[in-house]
Structure 1
Amino acid sequence: MGSPLRSLNDYFRRLNDLLSAENWELSEEAAKLLSISDSHVHMKFLQLEKAEDERRLYLNNSFDEIACLHLAVIYHLSKEHFENAFNTHVQVVQLFNKEILQKEKDQNWFLPVLYTLCTDLRLLARSADNKPSRLRDPEKSSCYEQSATYIMECYRTCVADVRAEIHASKKMAMLNLTNQLFRIYFRINKLNLLKPLIRAIDNSGPLYQTFSMADKVTYKYYLGRKAMFDSDLSLSEESLSYAFRNCPSHCARNKRLILIYLVPVKMFLGHMPSVDLLKRYQLQQFATVVESVKDGNLKKLDETLMENERFFVECGIFLMLEKLKIIAFRNLFKKVTRIYGTNQISYEAFMCAIRWLGIEDMDEDELECILANLIVEKKIKGYLSHMHKKLVISKQNPFPALSTIP
């Protein structure tokens, strides 16, 4: 926006013009000038450790100080002093919370700046934590974990804004800050801390309609992932499907990220993705998994999981995919019962099919255990005759659709 910045005064003047308008859209532009991801970060004349020594043109003393601290942050970044950059940016966030969020009443035009400051806090924390000296000191609290504390302080300030009308309320920041905390708690593996945040969103009422679609998509993505780990497949499918459906088509990378978790959940519920879908989003790692589960080919499933183990582990879904073996067994047993055309099938019939697949290290006791689990989980309707070593299945819908199983 506007002509290129040519001096420190240009920077201060531009920021002052944008902020003095007290307007949401112009605040989004101002946020760029306070972001570590903007091009101004690389301008030498703005990389100042002590910008307060320079002449400034601000109307608001708090934003004046915030801007000076930001220039100190980019100075530390230019020197690759990531821990100093993080600690200085912590001061920025705390100052914004104290002087802007807590003191500016009945208005919220500055929230885009808050969103940028919190995003940058996470990014700087990750850079600081990757510093070799920190990696060598496991006792030292991670900057990433610390960043959650400062973002939570801003969150509490925003949710406490009960007097303002919805359109002017700081509560509009709830979902964006919740997403910031989701990212952190996922990374540090503290998903239990998400429960009160989720409850607050569930109870947000009309306020939910004011949240941006981008924030809703991000929230549903993380909510779906959490539900998957909690084995709440119905909520997971609903949330991830919403995220995928409402994620813009040009955001192919994000849609692919959503599918990495939606595909296994859908498979557990009996919905297999098409080959075209997997190709379109470069997820061919799932293609043989899908084929193996559909065919009930346990050996092939094991092989493809091992071949793509690194990818699945990095995505955090390897153990989830291993659990698909029970679905593969069910599909195999379903094929066997169709071949025999009777509702009483001997264990030996199933063992023949298992051995035909090349699985030699399984005995009838393990088979019986698998069949019992499938019956308990209502994936097969029937019972076991231990004495006669047979599975007796219901004559009506013995293999109910997985999506109908509660």
Structure 2
Amino acid sequence: MSTLAGEFKSAYSAGSGDALAAVFTPIGTQNKPYRLQSFYDFTNAASLQKDLSFALFHGKSLKVPRAEQTAWVDIFAAYWEAVGELLKYEQDWPGASLVAIFTAWKKVANALIRGYSSSAGIPAWTLPCLYTVGKYLRTFAINADIKAAPQGASSFGFQDDVAADIEKNAHLEEAARIINRMFTLCLSDRAPMEESRKWGIYQTTNLIFKTYFRINSVGLTKNLLRAINAQSADLPPLEAFPKSHIVTFEYYVGVIHFLDENYAEVREDAFFRVIGLTQLMQAEKHLATAWSMCHRGASKNRELILTYLIPCHLVTTHTLPSDQLLAPFPRLEKLFRPLSNCIRKGDLVGFDKAMSAGEEEFVKRRIYLPLERGRDIALRNLFRKVFIVGGFEEAKEGQTSLRRTRVPVVEFAAALRIGTHATGRTRIDMDEVECLLSNLIYKGLMKGYIARERGIVVLSKNNSAFPGTGV
């Protein structure tokens, strides 16, 4: 116990929230691999409270109010019990389980919440403890659910906020309710700003976002955003928070907007198409902020941001990721490079094959629908080639040369026939071609109109037939 007691006294005397939170990390360190075993062995359940009180507050090294002392003793008592369950599990004791660890750690979280919300008044500078305890509560809940799941259920992927292939997340849902109490604890604090728990709002928000995503309850995140917006006048400005809090928050807000677009995409009428594009533009804004502020060495975080930022750019600005952008991320290179190459070349067959090959991963990451819209851009690029190959009209006297703007529909049909030759299609219905052309014009990927009676497409002049491409 002397190790943990010393760490607690040192961190409390220095007023270091991060150092104090490290005391409650339920793992051994490189310098002190047996810190947990030493802590658990120093006492027993019968004399736990008395021994903790003596070890933490005996003497005059710390001047802590009596009510706060009681709160810390209760927290350490719950921590001692949780450490015991951890050690039993590691040592394969009979009856030890991941569920027991989670149950014991809940007591740590609840004791800490009581300490902040009761008359004990644990000071706000200790808020990193709240995040650390909440983070491990989530981890232990996930482990307990995985253990209870049918054999073969998936564990962590490269993105552990993706909904797991587990039928039930009972423990994680319970953890979410407790973490939500932490969120409310921070948001509802009325203390002066310099000593307010509001400084922990974005860290706890990020933790509950991550938990809601894991249990596939993304809709609940909007309640948190509404609560934050309602209290925005009483919160410090976002830029005043640590950069790590901002980056994570902007990432999740961006993904929430991104997923809203997915649901709107089910409807193809103009109203819902505008809503979908607006949501993606909002998503792009928040994700771009997260990307610009993310530390260059945080490779995993940058990979997560790009997972959604690349599809956003594809839909909103019709831009594809460069080789330089994807080079540091082999997993994203594998996901996006085949699609990008096919879109750039206008290869419809290759695009469909790439979508099929990555379908499982795209669906898991919730990016399938926006990426599927890349087929329109591939088709646009194919038809653009038809337009370019068509050459120029002969200039009349006194006029400059103009690119040919009247293209027979049969030429677009021929391009489709060549582009889909690998599928075995030898005939292309002209009504289908006109439908595809109409969709591109409707979606703003082409400018012009179809003159059906003459069998031609009349496109805009002055290099504006295919907006954004210079043609």
Give the structure-1-normalised TM-score. Answer: 0.86
Displacement, 1:399?
2.1
Task: Out of 259-268 and 368-377, give the one that drifted further.
Answer: 368-377
2:232 to 183, 201, 204: 204
Map of 1:249 onto structure 2: 296
Which of residues 333, 350, 355 is equivalent to 1:284? 333
Match of 1:124 in 2: 140
> What is aligned with 1:339?
389
1:142 aligns with 2:170: yes
Q: SS at 1:109's partner residue?
A: helix
- Identify the residue that residue 45 of structure 1 maps to in structure 2: 38
- The match for 1:75 is 84
Q: CA shift at 1:38, angstroms?
A: 4.9
Which residue of the other structure, out of 66, 87, 94, is the alignment partner of 2:75? 66
Pair 1:154 & 2:182 matched: yes
Deviates more, 1:365-374 or 1:121-130: 365-374
Matched, 1:93 2:109: yes
Partners of 1:125 and 1:144 within 8 A in 2: yes
Residue 210 of structure 2 aligns with which residue?
Answer: 183
Structure 1 partner of 2:282: 235
Give the Cα separation in 1 of the matches to 2:46 and 2:455: 84
Residue pairs, 1:269-348, within 5 angstroms: 269-282=317-330, 283-285=332-334, 286-341=336-391, 342-348=404-410
In structure 1, what is the Cα distance between the partners aligned to 2:72 and 2:40? 18
| Farther off after superposition, 237-246 or 393-402 | 393-402
**In the alignment, structure 1 residue 381 sits paired with structure 2 residue 375:** no
Deviation at 1:325, TM superposition (A): 0.7
| Aligned residue identity for 1:109 | W
Once the 2 structures are TM-superposed, how far is the Cα of residue 293 of structure 1 from its aligned partner? 1.0
Question: How far 1:127 sits from its partner (Å)?
Answer: 0.5
Q: 1:339 to 1:83 in 2, by over 3 A?
A: same
Distance 1:387 1:190, change over 3 A: farther
The 1:104/1:355 distance shift into structure 2, 3 A limit, reads: farther
The aligned counterpart of 1:3 is: none
Shift of 1:16: 3.6
Give the C-alpha shift of residue 85 in structure 1.
1.3
Structure 1 residues 387 and 182: alpha-carbon distance in aligned structure 2, compared to 1, 3 A threshold: farther
The whole-number CA distance in structure 2 between the counterparts of 1:52 and 1:30 is: 26
How many angstroms apart in 2 are the aligned matches of 1:296 and 1:290? 10
Amino acid at match of 2:465: P
Q: Where does residue 195 of structure 1 map in the other structure? A: 222
Shift of 1:61: 1.7
Distance 2:343 2:74 in 1: 60
**Kept after mapping to 2: 8 A contact 1:50/1:72:** no
AA in 2 matched with 1:151:
I
Per the TM alignment, residue 139 of structure 1 is displaced from its structure 2 partner at its CA by 8.3
- Measured after TM superposition, the shift of residue 226 of structure 1 is 1.7
The alpha-carbon deviation at position 383 of structure 1 amounts to: 2.6
Q: Is the 8 A contact 2:116 2:122 kept in 1?
A: no
Aligned-partner Cα distance in 2 for 1:207–1:50: 47
Contact 2:78 2:111 in 1 (8 A): no
Normalised TM-score (structure 2)? 0.75
Same amino acid, percent of matched pairs: 28
Using a 3 Å threshold, how does the CA distance of structure 1 residues 244 and 65 change in structure 2: closer, same or farther? same
- Deviation larger for 278-287 or 364-373: 364-373
Cα offsets for 1:151-207 (capped at 9, x unmatched): 111211221113x22221111111111111111121222222112322344562543
Does the Cα contact within 8 Å between 2:127 and 2:200 map onto a contact in 1?
Answer: yes
What are the ranges of 5 or more consecutive residues in structure 2 without an aligned counterpart?
A: 58-68, 90-96, 154-165, 262-278, 392-403
What letter corresponds to residue 36 of structure 1 in structure 2? P
Counterpart of 1:4 in structure 2 is none
Residues paired across the two proteins, number: 390
Could you say if the C-alpha distance between residues 134 and 33 of structure 1 is closer, same or farther in structure 2, counting changes exceeding 3 Å?
farther
Higher deviation after alignment, 273-282 or 310-319? 310-319
Tell me if structure 2 keeps the 8 A contact 1:52–1:68. no
Query: Any idea what SS the aligned residue of 1:280 has?
Result: coil
CA distance in 2, matches of 1:52, 1:254: 46
The reply to whether residue 263 of structure 1 matches residue 310 of structure 2 is yes
Moved more, 69-78 or 123-132: 69-78
Q: 1:134 to 1:150 in 2, by over 3 A?
A: farther
- Tell me, yes or no, if structure 1 residue 399 matches structure 2 residue 429: no
Q: SS of the counterpart of 1:79?
A: helix
Q: Is the 8 A contact 1:106 1:165 kept in 2?
A: no
Query: Residues 67 and 364 (structure 1 numbering): CA distance in 2 closer, same or farther, change over 3 Å?
Result: farther
CA distance in 2, matches of 1:210, 1:50: 45
Question: Are 1:226 and 2:256 counterparts?
Answer: yes
CA drift at 1:111:
0.5
Paired residues of 2:135 and 2:207 also in contact (CA < 8 A)? yes
Question: How far 1:52 moved relative to its partner?
Answer: 6.3
State the shift of 1:257 in Å: 2.0
Describe the SS at the equivalent of 1:380.
coil
